Structure 1
Amino acid sequence: MESLEKLEGWLSNPENQISSVVDFDPSADRLYPFDFTAANLELTGRILADTSVFSLWVTKKLGDTHSRYGIGGYNEHRTIYSRSIHFDTLEEPRRLHLGVDIWGPAGTSVYNFFDAQVHSFKNNDHFGDYGATIILKYQLGDLTLYALYGHLSLKSLDGLEEGQFIAGGTLFASFGIPEENGNWPPHLHFQLMFDLQGKEGDYPGVCQFSNKAVYLANCPDPNLILKHTFKISAE
């Protein structure tokens, strides 16, 4: 809890200004709250089985609601991960989402919310995985925080070096197409971590429900950051 209190305290200081993660005009743009739990009966197995059909479904939802992006997912118990064996284990399948997804067109620009260094990056090239992934390291006062940006375009990895400085507000990545982002409809997986536990270019974005408390303690709600992008309240 100490790390979370430090993060909340740092963010509450008006001297610490953070940037938007994606372009968004709260006076004109809308967000659509996606529900990927079992309660969403519209999202059938037929849709999930085919990435192109799934992508069309997402695009239609955004178009029908005149939304610039879809959003949601933190601490959400999702049924959609049944589409990939990547989330299955012998003991218990992984279904609890640890980040926030921002759904929008491939090529959508991604910005760094504060001064950071490149911790690591990798193309996690498996069906259902992150695809192109970048992890940035932030020093917020005496708190070290990591942010994982997943499902990016492959060109987002070009020219990166570990330890490279990326200033806050810099456009440094973009949403990838399904062939590059782990075979998902285009979106950004945005996740915060206090401890990477020795991992590089990767960190679980979905956990077993039985491990919920451990992972949520290490992965605070990304809406603490995103509320500055979308001008919404983090709950």
Structure 2
Amino acid sequence: MTNQDFTLEEWLRKHQSQFYPLVPFDAIQDRLLAMDFTDANTALTADVLNDTAAFSAYVTTQLQSAGARYGYGGYNEHRTVYSRSPHFSDAAAGGEPRRLHLGMDIWGPAGTPVYAPVSGMVHSYAYNNNPSDYGATIILSHQLDGRQFYTLYGHLSLADLALAKEGNYVVAGQLLAHFGEPHENGNWPPHLHFQVIEDIGLNEGDYPGVCRYSEREFYLRNCPNPDAIIQWQQWLG
């Protein structure tokens, strides 16, 4: 079989032993909390979502109460949290808002280091500063045993962009960035949005991390489950 006989997610899972941890995590000592940002979570009222300090306090309280180092989840999740910003609404699409999340979120303290999980090159970077957008963003391109793909890192520290340079080679395990503060990460509670992309097209420094539900088939195929790289689903209770 050739590499094209596998989906990208299958290919990534086939090579899992080669991936470096994305953030510091000890599977023996550290706990993870599955976080729900759908309408099933009634604690996330409009008042909480529209107040970044209150939203951040909610996340911190949830982690502390669970004794968890990180919150985790969100791939293929239909989220109501995006109602907090007009950035996710598009009248040109017949009024259908973007609500389906295409990456995996890791919620934790600002300043948490982020490492390249696999070797590659800096494809592009940008400061996406629309309300509730990615904020500081870096995209890497990778060739893994002949298969090309991209990884996107959103909600980073602005200081990390000053060190990024397109075309620079990044070694697996190399420090890449840090979780940003709300004022530089799109006005979100500190976290990392990590996304895998098969075909990035002409996009530079940005790629949709949330799509319309009607577009889910295309985007979920092009953006497979990032847990194939992170490998944390097994540690969730």
- TM-score relative to the length of structure 1: 0.94
Question: What is aligned with 1:179?
Answer: 183
Query: Do structure 1's residue 220 and structure 2's residue 224 form an aligned pair?
Result: yes
Q: Counterpart of 2:32?
A: 31
Q: Which residue of 1 aligns with 2:210?
A: 206
> Which residue does the alignment assign to 2:53?
52
Give the letter for the 2:7 counterpart.
Answer: E
5 Å-filtered alignment, 1:73-92, equals: 73-90=74-91, 91=94, 92=96
Q: 2:159 aligned to 147, 150, 155, which one? A: 155
- Number of aligned residue pairs: give it: 231
- Give the secondary structure class of the aligned counterpart of 2:11: helix
Alignment match, 2:7? 5
How many Å separate the matches in 2 of 1:45 and 1:59?
A: 18
- 2:116 paired with 1:112: yes
1:141–1:7 CA distance, 2 compared to 1 (3 A): farther
Pick from 184, 196, 200 the counterpart of residue 196 of structure 1: 200
**Distance (Å, rounded) in 2 between the aligned partners of 1:13 and 1:48:** 38
- Judge conservation of contact 2:9–2:225 (CA < 8 Å) in 1: no
Give the gaps of 5 or more residues in structure 2.
none
What amino acid sits opposite 1:9 in the alignment?
Answer: W
Unaligned runs of at least 5 residues, structure 1: none
From 95, 100, 104, the equivalent of 1:100 is: 104
Shift of the alpha carbon at 1:159?
Answer: 2.3
Question: How far is 1:18 from its partner?
Answer: 1.1
Paired with 2:39 and 2:138, the residues of 1 have a C-alpha distance of 30
Kept after mapping to 2: 8 A contact 1:3/1:194: no
The CA distance in 1 between the partners of 2:107 and 2:134, in whole Å, is 14
Percent sequence identity over matched residues?
A: 51
The alpha-carbon deviation at position 11 of structure 1 amounts to: 3.7
Q: 1:175 and 1:10, CA in 2 relative to 1: closer, same or farther beyond 3 A?
A: closer
Matched residues in 1 for 2:143 and 2:23: separation?
Answer: 21
Q: Check conservation: 1:118, 1:134, Cα contact below 8 A.
A: yes
User: What secondary structure does 1:179 align onto?
Assistant: helix
Tell me if 1:164 matches 2:165: no
Amino acid at match of 1:133: T
CA contact (8 A) 2:9 2:224 kept: no
Closer, same or farther in 2 for the Cα pair 1:6/1:64, shift >3 Å? closer
Is contact 2:38–2:81 with CA below 8 Å preserved after alignment?
A: yes
Deviation at 1:172, TM superposition (A): 1.2
Secondary structure, in 3 states, of the residue corresponding to 1:232?
helix
| C-alpha spacing 1:13/1:40, structure 2 compared with 1 (3 Å) | closer
Task: Tell me which of 133, 138, 141 is aligned to 1:137.
Answer: 141
3-state SS, counterpart of residue 64 of structure 1: helix
Contact between 1:101 and 1:188, CA under 8 Å: does it hold in 2? yes
* Cα pair distance change 1:97/1:6, threshold 3 Å: closer
Distance 2:11 2:135 in 1: 33
Q: State the partner residue of 2:131.
A: 127
| Shift in Å, 1:3 | 7.3
How far is 1:10 from its partner? 5.2
Alpha-carbon deviation of 1:58?
0.3
Q: Which residue of 1 aligns with 2:67?
A: 66
Change (3 A) 1:78 1:3: farther
RMSD, matched Cα: 1.8
SS in 1 for 2:83: helix
